[in-house]
Structure 1
Amino acid sequence: MRTLVVTEKPNVAERIANSLGKATRKTHGGVAYYEVGDTVVAPAVGHIYGLRERKSKGWVYPVFDIEWAPSYSINKSSAFTKKYLNNIKHLSKDCQRFINACDYDVEGEVIGYNVIKHACGADPLSEKVRRVKYSTLTKDSILKAFEKIGPIDKGLADAGLARHSLDWYWGINLSRALSNAARSAKRYATLSIGRVQGPTLKVLAKRERSIQAFKPETYWQVEMQCRKETDFTSMHEADKFSEQEKADAVKEKCGDKARVSDVQSRKYKQTPPYPFDLTTLQTEAYKHLNIDPRRTLEIAQSLYTNAYISYPRTSSQQIPEDIDCRKIITDLKRQGDYGVLCEKLLEKKKLKPTNGKKKDPAHPAIHPTGEMPARLDAQHKRVYDLVTRRFLASFGEHAVRQSVSVKLDNNGETFIAKGNTTVEKGWHTYYGPYAKFEENLLPVLEKGDDVDVRDVLVHEKETKPPKRFTPASIIKEMEKRNIGTKATRSQIVDILFRRGYLHGKTIEVTKLGLSVVDALNKYCPEVLSDKLTRKFEEDMEQIQEGKLTSEEVIDDGRRTLENILAEFKENELKIGTALADSILEAKRRASSLGPCPVCKNDLVVRKSRYGGHFIGCTGYPKCTHTWPLPKDPVKKIGECKHCGYAMMIVMPKGKRKWSFCVNQACPGKKKKTR
C-alpha cells in the first residue's frame, strides 16, 4: 500500500522524510518530494486552498454563498502555490493511504484536511486517512509521532473550517459595507474591518482619546542629596506638592544635617520564570531585542522548522514530564555559550522546571530541542538565545533580592531613601542579559546615624498622559480580553497599520482609525464588540470539544452578521459622511514624503513630462522646490528612523534593490543603505 504524507512546508517534508529512513529526492513540475520505500512525502506551501464567492456579483453585500478553491485561482500573489498543488494531485493518483503531517494546530488541520479532500479526492474522516502529531521536528520526535499515528482530529478540523467560513463572512461583508459607505459619500477607498480588527481598533482608539483629552497638571517634588561614606538621594515623603510655595518652604526649612529615624529592610525571593508561551516570547523579544511581535513569530517559526526549538504557536507555559529535559540540557551543553550553565544544572539530582498556569492541550511551552543550530543571522541568534536562556532559567534556584527603606529627619521634614539589590542571583545567572533589575545600593545606615546634606532641590514636573500601546503591549491586551488567537494577534495589528488606521512605533491611532471607530460606535456598535468576538472563540472551543456542531455556530454567526449588515445598509450614507474627511487625510498622509524644507507643504512623487518621476512640493507653483528620483521604479516603504521623512525602495530590473531616505539633510545619510 502506497502512502502519501502531506507536510505544511517544503523543508519540513525533507526533514520528515530523512527521519523516516533513507529518502530519495525526486521532483515533479519544479517541486521536490521524497520517497522512503512505499511512502511519499510531499509538501504543501501553507494554505493552497482558500475560500471565495461561488458566483461573483461584484462589490455587493451580504454574500454567504462561498466555496473552497485553489489559492492561485483566488489571488494572483498565490500563483506560486499552483505547482505544489499539481505535484500533490500527481502523486496522489498512485496512493491508497494519506497522512496529514502538517503542524498540529487549527491551521495545520485545515491545510491537511483540504489537501486530502480536494487534491487527493479522499474522505479525510475515512480509515485510509491518518494524522501525526508532533511538537518538535527532531528525528526522535517525528519517529514517536508516526508510532502513535491516529485519525484526523475532527473537532479541530471542524473548528478550523468554521473559523475560516465565519472570518470570510465577517471580513468580506463588513469591509465591502465600509467601502460602499465611503463611496456613498463620494470618497473612493478600500477600507476593511473584521470581527477581530474592530474590537482591537476600539481598544486602541479609547487609549488615543484618553491621551488627546489629557491635560497635564504641574506638581513639585523635593529631593535631598545626602552623603554617608557614599552619595545617595532621598525624596520628601509627601512625594508630590500641588503648590510650589509648600515645596519651597520645605527646602528653606532643611539644614545641612539629617538624622536616620527608621530603617526597614526585607529580603524576598523571586521565583524562576516559566518557559515561554507565544505571547510572552513576543513581549520579551520586543522588550529586550526590539523585535516586533510579527517578526518574532516569523523567526520562531523558522527556528521550529529547522528543529532548533519546539512549536511556537502555543499558549502553554508548562514543560510536561514526558519531555526528557536532562537530555536537552546535555545536548545544549555542547553549544559553547551554554556549557557552564548546563553543567551547573546537570549537577542537580532532579531537574524540574518552574511551570506557569497556562496549558495547551496540543503543545508544550516553547523550548530548545538541543539540536545544534547551523548558521543563524543576528536576529535568529538573539531569539534562539532568549528561548534557550528562558528554558534554562526555569530550572534555576530562586533569586534573592533585598529592599531597604530609610527615613531621614531634617528639621521635622521626613525624607525617604530606597535601595534595591540582588543578594543571590539564582536563576538570574541563567537568564543572563534578560534578567534586568534595578540595582540601587545604599550605604549601611542605622537608626540615629547623622548624614551630611549636600543639597536640597525642588523639581518642577508635569503629570504624564496614559502610555501609548506598543505592538507588544497591545497583543498582551488582546490576549487578556480574549480577542483573536495567539497565532493571529500580531497579524491583526499589522493589518491595522497597513490599512492606515495606526501609525508609529508607540501606536498612534490616525484620524481615519478614530473616524472608523466613532462611526461604527454610533451606527453599528456590535462590529466593535469584544463580547461578540469572545463568544466566537468560546464557540470554537465548543466545536473542538464536540459540544456544538460547526453548522450551528456558522448559522448563529450568519444570523448575527445579517442583522448588523441590515443596520449598516440603513446608515450607509451617514457612516460614509462621517468618514469622508479622514479618508482624504489618510490619502494625503499616504502620499506625503515629508515636509518641504522651503515652505513646509507636503513633498510628493510627481510625474515629469518626459515620463520619469521626481519629488516635488504640493505648494507648486508658489514653491518650485524639486529633486530627482532614480529612473528605476520606486515605492514608499515607511519612515526614516533618523528624521521621519519617507524611506523609498528602488527596484531595478534584474538588480539588487536598495533604499534611501528622501530627506537630503537626513542625519543618517552618512550610513549607507545599499
Structure 2
Amino acid sequence: MKLYIAEKPSLARAIAAVLPGPQKREEGYIRCGNGDLVSWCVGHLLEQAEPEAYDPAYKQWRFEHLPIIPDRWQLKPRPKVRSQLTALRKLTREADQLVHAGDPDREGQLLVDEVIEYLGVPDSKRRATQRLLISDLNPSAVKRALERLKPNSEFIPLSVSALARSRADWLYGINLTRALTLQGRRVGFDGLLSVGRVQTPVLGLVVERDRAIEAFVSKPFYEVLAHLLTEQGQRFSASWQPSEACARWQDEEGRVLSRELAQNVANRISGKEAVVEEAGRKPAQQPAPLPYNLSSLQIDASKAYGMSAQAVLDACQALYEKHRLITYPRSDCRYLPKEHHGEAGAVIGAIKQTASTLAQAASGADIGIKGRAWNDSKVEAHHAIIPTAKSAREGSLSGHEAKVYELIARQYLMQFYPAWRYNDTELKLRIEGGLFIARARQTEDPGWRTLLGKTADGASELPLLAVGDSLSCERGEVLEKQTQPPKAFTDASLLAAMTGIARFVGDPALRKVLRETDGLGTEATRAGIIELLVTRGYLQRQGKSIHSSPAGRGLIDALPEQVQKPDLTAHWESSLDAMARREGRYEQFMTALQSSLTELIGQLGAAAPESLRGVDAPKRRRAGGARRRTAGRAGQAAAAGKQGGNGRKTAPRRRRKQSVAENG
C-alpha cells in the first residue's frame, strides 16, 4: 500500500481524485479504491522548539544567555494540528511505500521530509520514498506527474539546504532580537525590537530611501533644444550634448546647472546651419515578455491595480487551490517545459470562457508560435505561472481573483503573438561646433503589444537624412527643469528592490551572488515580510507609499552596519546554493554562522542604542489577512519572551507567535 503525503489538503484531494475509485474520506486521509492512501500536512505540522525547551532559564530574557545555540535541535508539533500528525504516524507505519508530495520548492521539500524523520520512519522505508512534483492541480496534470515519480533521495541536498537556512534564521532572529530588545530597555524603549536576516535589510532600504527624500534639495538644471528645418520643409528637434569643456557646470549625472551657459548655446545656434554627421536607422524587434513568476506578477498587479503583494499572493492561492485556474503560484521561474506547448489550445480555450475581456486576444493567438518561453533547460522544480485548461463561469471570481487571473492569462497569450517590430532612428548633427542628437522609434508591427492596447509609440517620425545633409536651425530653446527627489517605495518598487537587491550591494562578488539567487527573501515570503514590518509598526503605509516609522528608524540605527545591509543574504545564499549542489557542507555553514553571531552580540552589548531613546514602541497592527507559509518554520521567539531578564515584559502584552525563518 502506498501513502501519498501532500503538503496541503487541496493537493491531497487532487491526487486522490485521479487514483482508482471509489474514494472514501477517513479521519486525516483519503482511502482509494486500490488500497492506496492519500494524507496531508496542513502547512507546517512541526515548528522549532522555543529556547526554554532547551533550558528553562531561557524563559527569561537575559543578555548573559546569548547566544542561544542548541546542541541538539528539537521540533515540536503545532498544537492545532497535532491530530493530523497522529494520523500520519499511524499511516506511515502501515504503508509499504511513501510518496513525498510537498510543494515543488525548497521549503516544500523540507516540510514533508521533517515530518517523515520526526515520525521515526525506518531507514529502509525512507530510502525507498518517492517524490511527486505537482504544479497544476487539474486531473490531466496530476496524472502526468504520477507517471514521473522520482526517488526522494535525489532531493536530499535541497532539503539539507532548506534545513540549514531554517535553523540559521532561527539562531539569527532569536539571538539578535533578544539582544537588541534587552539593550532597548536600557534607554527606555519598552517594546519588541525584532531583527531578521531578511526583514531588517528590507527595513533598512526604506529607512535609507526616506532619509534621501528628506535630505533632498531640488536644483534647477537646463537643457537646450535645437528646432530644425529641412530643405523639404520638415521640422523636428534635437537635444544638445554638452562637451567635456562643460563638465565644471554639470552635476554628477551630467545635467547642466548653469542657465547662462545653456542660454549662450541657444543664442549661438539660432539661425545657423546644421550638418548631419551620422544618420542611422536600425530595424529591431522585441519578443513577448516571459510568463510571470510570483514577484513579477505582484509588481505588475501593484502597478495596475494598487494591490499589495500579500493581496496578490492570496488571490493566487485561491486561483490555484480553490478554482484550479492557474498553476503553482509561488514559482520563481519564468519559463515553461516544451511539452506544455501542446496544451496551448486547451488553455487558450479556457481563457476565452473565464475572461471575456481577453476573448478577442485569445481568438487572435497563433498556437504555431513557439518562442523563448518554452525552454526545458530553464525549468527546475516548477515552471512559470500560467492558466490551466480549466475554465470558470463569468462572475465566479472575486474582484482581486479576476484581476490577477486576467494579468496571468494576458501574459500567457502574448507568447502566441509575433514580436514587436520597430525602427530606431538616430541623427547626430553639428551646429556651431556643438553636438545635437535626435532619436525616434517607429513601430512597424506592434505584435504582442496589441494586448496592452499599444500599437504605436507616439513618437514623431524623423526625416530621412544622409551624412553631409545641411539644414537650418530656426532657433535654440532653453528648457528649465528641476531635479526630483527619489520616489518613496510602494509595494511594487519594494518588491522589485527585494528581487533585484544586488544593485544595493557595493561588493562586486556579492552582487554577482545575489543576481544569481532569489534576491532578498523568496517568492513565497516577500509579501509576508512587507506585511510583517507593517504589522510590527516599523513600516507605515501612506496611500500607495511605504515609509519607515520612528521605531523602524531607531531600530536600524541601533544595529551594526552588516545587519542593516543585504550582504549577509549573499553570503548565506552562496553557501546554501553550494549545499543544494552537493558542493558545500552543513557543518561549515553553521560553524561560521555561530562565530559571526557571537561577534554581533558583542557589538550590540558594547553600547546602549541611543537612537531608541525617547522613541515610543509602535502599536501592533493587524496583519491584514496575511498568510505566511513560514509561520511555524523556525520558531517564534521573536514575537516576545514572556518575562525578560529584568522582570519586565518584552512588550505591552503577550503577542501571537511569529516565525523567524525567512521573515523573522
State the TM-score bracket (shorter-chain normalisation): 0.7 to 0.9
Greater mean alpha carbon deviation, residues 409-418 or residues 54-63? 409-418
- Tell me, yes or no, if the aligned pair for 1:274 and 1:355 is still in contact at 8 Å: no
Aligned 1:41-440 pairs, distance under 5 A: 41-53=38-50, 54-55=53-54, 56=56, 57-58=58-59, 59-60=61-62, 61-65=66-70, 66-72=73-79, 79=80, 81-89=81-89, 91-92=91-92, 94-119=94-119, 121=121, 126-127=126-127, 129-152=129-152, 153-221=155-223, 234=237, 236-237=239-240, 241-245=256-260, 262=276, 265-305=281-321, 306-321=323-338, 323-336=339-352, 337=356, 341=361, 345-346=365-366, 348=368, 351-354=370-373, 359-373=378-392, 375-405=396-426, 418-429=439-450, 432-433=451-452, 438-440=457-459
The Cα shift of 1:139 comes to 1.9
The Cα shift of 1:468 comes to 3.6
Q: Cα RMSD over matched residues? A: 3.9
Greater mean alpha carbon deviation, residues 234-243 or residues 358-367? 234-243
> What are the superposed Cα offsets for residues 627-653 of structure 1, whole Å, 9 maximum, x if unpaired?
xxxxxxxx8889xxxxxxxxxxxxxxx
- Tell me, yes or no, if the aligned pair for 1:516 and 1:579 is still in contact at 8 Å: yes
Q: In 2, Cα distance between the equivalents of 1:109 and 1:175?
A: 28
State the SS of the aligned residue for 2:185.
helix
- 2:481 corresponds in structure 1 to 461
Aligned 1:489-508 pairs, distance under 5 A: 489-504=526-541, 505-508=544-547
- 1:514 corresponds in structure 2 to 553
- 2:645 corresponds in structure 1 to none
State the SS of the aligned residue for 2:613.
helix
Q: In 2, Cα distance between the equivalents of 1:23 and 1:579?
A: 63
Aligned 1:521-670 pairs, distance under 5 A: 521=560, 525-569=561-605, 571=606, 574-581=607-614, 583-584=615-616, 587=618, 590=619
The one-letter amino acid paired with 1:275 is P
The one-letter amino acid paired with 2:147 is E
State the SS of the aligned residue for 1:198.
helix
The one-letter amino acid paired with 1:7 is A
State the SS of the aligned residue for 1:423.
strand
- Tell me, yes or no, if the aligned pair for 1:9 and 1:45 is still in contact at 8 Å: yes
- 2:8 corresponds in structure 1 to 9
Q: Report the CA distance shift for 1:124/1:93 in structure 2 as closer, same or farther (over 3 A).
A: closer
The Cα shift of 1:371 comes to 2.4
Higher relative contact order (CA 8 A, sep 6+): 2
Q: In 1, Cα distance between the equivalents of 2:442 and 2:334?
A: 28
- Tell me, yes or no, if the aligned pair for 1:125 and 1:154 is still in contact at 8 Å: no
> What are the superposed Cα offsets for residues 106-136 of structure 1, whole Å, 9 maximum, x if unpaired?
2212221233333575559624533212232
- Tell me, yes or no, if the aligned pair for 2:539 and 2:549 is still in contact at 8 Å: yes
Q: In 1, Cα distance between the equivalents of 2:612 and 2:13?
A: 51
- Tell me, yes or no, if the aligned pair for 1:267 and 1:401 is still in contact at 8 Å: yes
The one-letter amino acid paired with 1:370 is A
More strand by share: 1
Q: Report the CA distance shift for 1:51/1:254 in structure 2 as closer, same or farther (over 3 A).
A: same
Q: In 2, Cα distance between the equivalents of 1:188 and 1:163?
A: 30
The Cα shift of 1:537 comes to 1.5
Q: In 2, Cα distance between the equivalents of 1:210 and 1:358?
A: 42
State the SS of the aligned residue for 2:378.
coil
- 2:500 corresponds in structure 1 to 477
Aligned residue among 29, 35, 60 for 1:38: 35
- Tell me, yes or no, if the aligned pair for 1:329 and 1:342 is still in contact at 8 Å: no
Q: In 2, Cα distance between the equivalents of 1:163 and 1:149?
A: 27
- Tell me, yes or no, if the aligned pair for 2:160 and 2:579 is still in contact at 8 Å: yes
> What are the superposed Cα offsets for residues 184-208 of structure 1, whole Å, 9 maximum, x if unpaired?
2222110111122333333444444
- Tell me, yes or no, if the aligned pair for 1:272 and 1:396 is still in contact at 8 Å: yes
The Cα shift of 1:51 comes to 0.2
> What are the superposed Cα offsets for residues 251-305 of structure 1, whole Å, 9 maximum, x if unpaired?
77897x9988657544322233233333333333333343333333333333333
The Cα shift of 1:356 comes to 8.1
State the SS of the aligned residue for 1:279.
helix
- Tell me, yes or no, if the aligned pair for 1:6 and 1:41 is still in contact at 8 Å: yes
The one-letter amino acid paired with 1:155 is P
Q: TM-score, normalised by structure 1?
A: 0.73
State the SS of the aligned residue for 1:382.
helix
State the SS of the aligned residue for 1:503.
strand
The one-letter amino acid paired with 2:240 is E
- Tell me, yes or no, if the aligned pair for 2:30 and 2:37 is still in contact at 8 Å: yes
The one-letter amino acid paired with 2:319 is L
Q: In 2, Cα distance between the equivalents of 1:556 and 1:243?
A: 54
Q: Report the CA distance shift for 1:244/1:365 in structure 2 as closer, same or farther (over 3 A).
A: same
Q: In 2, Cα distance between the equivalents of 1:230 and 1:441?
A: 15
Give ranges in structure 2 of 5+ residues lacking alignment: 243-254, 504-513, 625-664
Instruction: Count residues in correspondence.
Output: 568
Q: Report the CA distance shift for 1:147/1:236 in structure 2 as closer, same or farther (over 3 A).
A: closer
The one-letter amino acid paired with 1:475 is M
Greater mean alpha carbon deviation, residues 175-184 or residues 331-340? 331-340
The Cα shift of 1:158 comes to 1.8
> What are the superposed Cα offsets for residues 149-203 of structure 1, whole Å, 9 maximum, x if unpaired?
2332222222222222111111111111111111122221101111223333334
Greater mean alpha carbon deviation, residues 357-366 or residues 147-156? 357-366
Q: Report the CA distance shift for 1:563/1:198 in structure 2 as closer, same or farther (over 3 A).
A: same
State the SS of the aligned residue for 2:291.
coil
Q: Report the CA distance shift for 1:93/1:180 in structure 2 as closer, same or farther (over 3 A).
A: same
- 2:245 corresponds in structure 1 to none
Identical aligned pairs, as a percentage?
25
- Tell me, yes or no, if the aligned pair for 1:258 and 1:409 is still in contact at 8 Å: no
- Tell me, yes or no, if the aligned pair for 1:247 and 1:458 is still in contact at 8 Å: yes
The Cα shift of 1:232 comes to 8.2
